[in-house]
Structure formats: C-alpha cells, structure tokens
Structure 1
Amino acid sequence: MATDAGRGRGAGGGRRTEPTITWPWSFGPDCYDTPLECFPLEHHHEFVNGKELRPYDNRIDVWLKCNHNKLCVVQVYDGFEDGGRRFFRCPIGEAYFDEGNCRYARWVDPRNFYHTDEYINYLKCKIDDLQRKVDCLNSQLKEATPYPYTVSLIEDPLCPDVWCKCPYHMKKNQPPPPPTSSGGGAGPSQFSGGGGEPSQSNYYY
C-alpha cells in the first residue's frame, strides 16, 4: 500500500487552479480594451527557458485557464488606474466585450505605488493633449492646402521676378499681334494707307 511519502511531490494536495500569489482588492481589471500595438498579447509557450512571468512563478504556480478551460494570455493594462500592470485574461477576442470572451481576468503584477499611478496618468494626459494638437494642425493644413483641381484651373501662376524666363513672362513679353486687314464694308483703319481719312503714316513722309 502506498504511503504519503511514496506519492512524490503531488502528495498532500490537489491541483492548484490559482497562483500562490494573489493580490487583494481585485481579481483583475473590471474591463480592458484591445491590446496596445507596442505590448502585444503574450502566450504560455513564450514563458519558457528561464523566462518566467514574475512575480508569477511558472515552476510553482499552475498557468491559469479561463472559463472556457483554455490557457490564458497575458496583457498589459493601459487604463488610468493600474496602468502598466499585467494580467491574465481570456484568449478569445481582442477586448473585454468581444463576442465569445468569458470576461475572465486575474492580475499578474502587484498594484502600483500611488506616485507611479499619478505619473502614468500625467503622461497619458500629455500624450492625449499632443494628439489633439496634431489632429488640429492636420485639419488646419488640410483646409489651407488647395485642392489639385483648383490649382489646375490656373494656367500660368503669377511670377514676381521680372527677369524670369518662365512661361508667364515669356507670354507676357511677346509682341502684340499684327493688325488685321480690313474686310469689305468695314472701312479703312487709321493705320491703313488707302481711302477715306489719311493714314497716320502719311505725316511722317
């Protein structure tokens, strides 16, 4: 008959479903959004070969499973409170309210110090302010920039350089076209030499 000593390390207790380290006040975030691009979700197989999820000890603690009995993933929380803390969550979906997500969440890291939370909130506010300024400047730039079809309506833009050889000045400095010959019934012009009133050129003979 086997004794307690012969059962190995499993003697004296059943399978653990929660980590040995638990944090008071809350089991996990009440809600979470899509993971940040710079902090993607991490999976169980990534924490191997000495890469442990501190202070959660992979060698001692059983990796948590969600209500679907699936291994949880690890996400970095980006809210105003507890920002930067990692937590276990359901692997289905990207955010808390996605279809299929069982809303399971447990903190991995302990709660931040008060001054750390304050500084994180300050930085988030500064980032939000800068983003609003960038959006405002982009909107103003878009309004100030003419549309391509508006620019195309202007054949030759005005050029302030009088010595320039651009198409605008080349067209402007062209000599006037020669006078058109008078047609029948129109009468002679003042520059023509025939009939009617004497031509202006007659005064220079």
Structure 2
Amino acid sequence: MSNNQIILPDFVIANLYGNNLVVGNDVVTKERTSVSTTIPTPATTPVTTPVSTPVPKVEPSVEYQLPKPAAIPTKTAVVNTAPETPKQWFLGNNGKHITVMVKEDTVPYINDKHLQFLSNVLSACKLNLDDIALVNYKNYPLGFEDLKTKSNPKIVLAFDLSPKDLKLPFTIPVYQVQDYAQCKFLFAPSLSKMEGDTVESKAEKTKLWMSLKTLFGL
C-alpha cells in the first residue's frame, strides 16, 4: 500500500462514519437518538350538515286587471233664470208707455170678457190698446226692473197683483196711487171682482174709477 494519503470526499466520510463525529483528530461517537415526533391530531370539529329546508313552490304570479270604475256623470248646475221674453210678450203697442198687468190662467194675455171690460175702462180714460202694453203676469212674471228694461213704463196699472210681486220696496193698499222711480203705480183687485151688476162689483168699479181719475189727471 502506498504511503500517499487518500483523501475521501465528505459524503463518503459521512456515510462511513455516520455515527462518529470527527472533531479535529479525535473521533467522537455520537449515538443517534431517535426522536419520536408525534404530530398532534387536530381536534375534530363536528361538521353540521345543513338541513335543506324545502323551498315552497312559487306559483307564477297572475296579474289581475281591476275593472275600471264606471264614470260618474257630472251634475250640471241648474241656474234658475227668468224665462226669456219673446219679441211680442205683451198685447198692444205701448204707445204711451202704460203697462197694464193681469193674472190670467188659461190664455196668453186676457180672456175676452175681461178684455171687453178693460177696453171700456181705457176708453173712459181716453186711451186704447195702442197706448198700452198688456202683460199676463202668469206667463211673464216680470219684476219692475225687468219692466223698465223691456217696456220702460211711466204708469203701471196692476190687477190681482201686489207690490211684492213686482219686487217693489214698498207696500200700499189697493186703489192708492204711488210714485216711485219716475213711475206711477196703481194696484187693484182682480177684474173678476168687477164683473156683473152686483152691489160688490159696482163698489169696486167706483173705487177703480176714482183712482184712475187721479192716476191720469182726469
């Protein structure tokens, strides 16, 4: 064997002297201690299995179309207005702006018997139908303000009517002449009370005649 030293590589030395530790020139035997490494078992966490809750079956939504409410008819306000006066709403020609008013139920202006009596009265006052406007209040319930607009009376002779009917601001007894708003008024009972030759009718005719003389200055 040669005296030359043989140098072994480190990994060979480690394999040959695995249990010896070489410190310098000394060899120290090192016992391998087996270390038992116990890996702790991790704590087992109970796994809770979720309970599946049955999902209720959702029915497809159905759209219900509500019926439209019925239209409520709109109430039209009713306004009470005076009836429209026709072009020929009186009898006569109103030549002297004298309005004679009566209240007859079944005729446009006046019945024949009363017309005859009235014509005689007008004749006694030197008047006729051309001088007056004869109005039936039953068909044309006009107040004094309406009369002023429509016939512009200077004299109003009213049978079977009162100042209240003509919307006048005063009250007077029958057969009394009253001046108001540049107009003269005379109210008398119904022409029916002057029919015939009874004592009562003659008394009414006399009272009427006396008032007419004052009214027309006879």
TM bracket, shorter-chain basis: under 0.3
Normalising by structure 2, we get a TM-score of 0.20
More strand by share: 2
Normalising by structure 1, we get a TM-score of 0.21
